[in-house]
Amino acid sequence: MAAKTATYGYLRMASGDTFTSPTPNKEFQPRALIWAGMGSAQTAQITDVNGSTVCYMSATGKYDHVSLDGHFWGESALWKTPITFTASGGATGGYLFIVT
């Protein structure tokens, strides 16, 4: 599990990586994200500091991807960090890119 830092407005995460927002209240809400699964029938989730799933994604085919833009978060609450990204394929579960 590696702690990640956003650079140039992007956060890049692999399965097991964590991110803590640098804001004073440690809350975070992405502007958009994309997850690309590397295998068939994979799932991925982002959990917050309380262990609550704040985002759940699934891909059916190999190399399928999920894209979510700002419309997805609309009225949702900010995420309490640190957040953890977990993909069903583990280290081969693909990569998550978040626009911060």
The model's pTM: 0.89
Residue 1: the pLDDT is 60
Please check whether residue 43 is in contact with residue 30, taking contact to mean a CB–CB distance below 8 angstroms: no
Region for 22 from its dihedrals, namely left if φ exceeds 0, alpha if ψ lies in -120 to 50, beta otherwise: alpha
pLDDT at 37: 81
Helix (H) or strand (E) holding 59: strand 53-59
pLDDT per residue, tens digit, the chain (100 aa), is 688 988 888 999 999 999 999 999 999 989 999 998 887 788 999 999 999 999 999 888 888 889 998 888 777 889 999 999 999 877 777 889 999 8
Number of Cβ within a 10 Å radius of residue 37: 26
pLDDT number for residue 99? 92
pLDDT at res. 21: 93
Dist. CA 44–CA 87, nearest whole Å: 4
Q: Please report, for residues 24, 40, 74, 98, the alpha-carbon distance to residue 58 in angstroms, rounded to integers and kept in the order given.
A: 32, 10, 20, 16
